[in-house]
Amino acid sequence: MIRRQKLFTFESKVTAMVIAIILASTAFTAVLIAMISGAILREQAVRSCQERLHTISRRFDITLNRIQSQASLLTFYKATTHRQTGSQETSTPYEAFLRDAAFSSYLAEYLATQPAVGSIAYYDGDNLSISKDTYGTGGGTGFLVPQEVRESFLNSDAASLWYVREGTSGQEENYLFFCMKKSYSFSGSPIGMFTIMVSPKEIRDIYRGSTAEGELFLTADSTGAVCACSEERLVGSGLAALFSLSGKPRSGDIVALEGRDYLYSSMRYPEADMELILLTPRAAIYRQAFYLFQAVVLLGLLFVALAIWRSRHYMQRLLRPLGEITASIRRMAAGTYDVRVPVCTEDELGVLAGELNAMADNTQQLLLRIREESEQRHRFELSYLQVQMQPHFLYNTLETVCGMIQSGESEESIELINQISGFYRAVLNGGQEVVPLSHEMEITRSYLRIMQTRYAGAFQFTLSMDESACACPLPKLILQPFVENSVVHGFIGFHTEEELRLHVSVRRDPDGISIRIRDNGAGMQPETAARLNGDRPCPADSFGISGARKRLRLYFGQAAQVVVHSAPGAGTRIDMRIPDRLAGPVQPEQGE
């Protein structure tokens, strides 16, 4: 239960709130950084892919320029042959045959020395095949460039052009790459064109080494078909079907291929009707962002641990005045109003501590006034009860003295007056309202001697008391009403053959002081005893007993008990128990 209370203290709640704010801020910061860094890394990846695609396109250009440079000898040879033999229209068939045979032989020699070239063909200005060599193509004419493509190239202003076409069923490659180059005479006019099929190995060497681990390079033609790829199994597939898209993806999109996500980057190659494509794994792009996210989370957790440690320190300093105020309020609630909260700050807690101290001062002063008024009221009540008990005894005794004087019993009256004087001297006792039990026994003894004088031979009495109980304090004139009740109501007018006796005994036991007043007089009815034992109002003649009980409870509280045991003709026994406010050893009884 104590642990549960500590768990829900204000300090714990504030600490938990601070930790929650730090965790939420850390999580938000980490996610925001991951999103921003992810976007930046994606943009950088697209830019990097575009740069590498430009590099690959420049490699295509270098390959094209190298083939063009190598083919320059063919162009020069053709131009020289054209100048020596003249135009085809003016030459004889035999001359044309010799020229074509010589040029075909030259093409064969060229093809044998160029591993990058798979086959080569030459067309004159009328787009007619003059000489060709199918070395490396497996025979047939499947490598040829379509006539409409050649015508379009011859009629254009371009000096060279790439062309990609799908291979035939008898060829090993799915797609073939051709480089078309025009030949010119020495006067600068076009006299024909070469179609050079580039070796597939040469094409693969262009993009080999340009891709990182996990990346894919693709070359697609105008129809969206993959005509070259770093993964040979993908050649011939359509882009839309390959990525399961309804249309062609754009550069910067995220596409899915074989269960993996890739960043799609593309670039149009202007020297050929094809598109260069680079696929970068998404995980590789966002790996740095993920590392950054992990670093932010770890730093956030470290910061949380540091914040918990520091917040506990600062919270304890900040909330120490609040804890002192709470502890003071609890002590005040328990009845201790002498506590004061030290005011160490000038903020709201300092103002609260000051107001709490002022409230404690006011409450303490109020309780002091209430206690003084209560004690004064008790004193007034005790004095009032004592004043009520004394007059009737004094009046009756003085009447007895008057009667004795009238009867000529001067010595007895003087003795009675001395007894009355001693009694009231003991009763007054300097105005003290609470006296030791030994003093109260002396008052009782004086009273009984006066009553024996007034009622000569009516009864006998004995008093006994533990010496250890002599100093026990109690209100004055407590025993007198009870012994008076025994004498007046138990002995006077009661006739019996036995000697009437009254015995008052006081002893101390571990539970307190026990006082017993026992007589063998007339006794009383059970109803009267019940009224005396209860808290109900008693008749006027029983005021002394009820007043004594009230006085005892005013002084000792509910711990004081007075029980009356009586029966008609069997006497009366009164048992009183009061708390022992003094400690001391129990002594044996001594009688008188």
Q: What tokens does 469 get?
A: 């109980």
Q: What's the confidence (pLDDT) of residue 161?
A: 78
Give per-residue pLDDT as tens, 135-186.
Answer: 433 344 444 788 888 888 888 888 777 777 776 654 555 677 787 888 777 6
Q: Is the distance from CB of 333 to CB of 21 less than 8 angstroms?
A: no
- The whole-angstrom separation of Cα 454 and Cα 101 is 182
- The whole-angstrom separation of Cα 403 and Cα 406 is 5
Angle between helices 93-113 and 10-85 (to 10 degrees): 150
Q: Does the pLDDT at position 129 exceed 70? A: no
Mean pLDDT of 82-87: 52
Mean pLDDT of 382-407: 68
Q: What's the confidence (pLDDT) of residue 460?
A: 93
Q: What tokens does 287 get?
A: 């790996």
- The whole-angstrom separation of Cα 446 and Cα 424 is 9
Question: How would DSSP label each residue in 436-460?
Answer: EHHHHHHHHHHHHHHHHHHTTTS-E
Q: What's the confidence (pLDDT) of residue 574?
A: 93
CATH homologous superfamily of domain 370-578? Histidine kinase-like ATPase, C-terminal domain (3.30.565.10)
Please give the angle made by the CA atoms of 22, 24 and 25, to the nearest 5 degrees.
60
Mean pLDDT of 79-84: 58
Q: Is the distance from CB of 154 to CB of 171 less than 8 angstroms?
A: no
Q: Which residue type sits at 435?
A: V
Mean pLDDT of 297-305: 76
Residue 125 vs residues 163, 194, 329, 399, 436: alpha-carbon distances, Å: 19, 11, 112, 175, 152
565 confidence band (pLDDT: 50, 70, 90): very high
Give per-residue pLDDT as tens, 214-245.
Answer: 888 888 877 778 878 888 788 878 888 888 87
Q: What's the confidence (pLDDT) of residue 343?
A: 67
Report the percentage of the chain scoring pLDDT > 90: 8
What is the enclosing helix (H) or strand (E) of 394?
helix 348-406
Q: What's the confidence (pLDDT) of residue 3?
A: 45
Q: What is the CATH number of domain 37-296?
A: 3.30.450.20
Q: What's the confidence (pLDDT) of residue 588?
A: 37
Q: What's the confidence (pLDDT) of residue 42?
A: 74
Q: What's the confidence (pLDDT) of residue 139?
A: 41
Q: What's the confidence (pLDDT) of residue 502?
A: 94
Mean pLDDT of 26-50: 76
Say how many residues make up the chain. Answer: 592
Q: What's the confidence (pLDDT) of residue 68?
A: 64
Q: What's the confidence (pLDDT) of residue 19?
A: 74
The three-state secondary structure class of 8 is: coil
The three-state secondary structure class of 464 is: strand
Nearest of 218, 152, 224 to residue 182 by alpha carbon: 152
Describe the chain by its helix, strand, coil percentages, rounded to 5.
55, 20, 25
- The whole-angstrom separation of Cα 285 and Cα 279 is 11
Average pLDDT value over all residues in the chain: 75
Q: What's the confidence (pLDDT) of residue 585?
A: 37
Q: What's the confidence (pLDDT) of residue 516?
A: 95
Q: What's the confidence (pLDDT) of residue 182?
A: 81
Q: What's the confidence (pLDDT) of residue 128?
A: 66
pTM above 0.85, yes or no: no
Give per-residue pLDDT as tens, 426-455.
Answer: 877 767 778 899 999 998 998 899 888 888
Instruction: Tell me the domain boundaries of the chain.
Output: 37-296, 370-578
Mean pLDDT of 78-94: 57
- Comparing 80 with 160, the larger pLDDT belongs to 160
Q: What's the confidence (pLDDT) of residue 287?
A: 72
Q: What is the largest CA-CA distance in the chain?
A: 205
Mean pLDDT of 306-332: 72
The three-state secondary structure class of 127 is: coil
- Comparing 446 with 377, the larger pLDDT belongs to 446
Give per-residue pLDDT as tens, 445-492.
Answer: 988 998 888 888 889 999 999 988 888 988 888 888 889 888 888 888
Q: Does the pLDDT at position 81 exceed 80? A: no
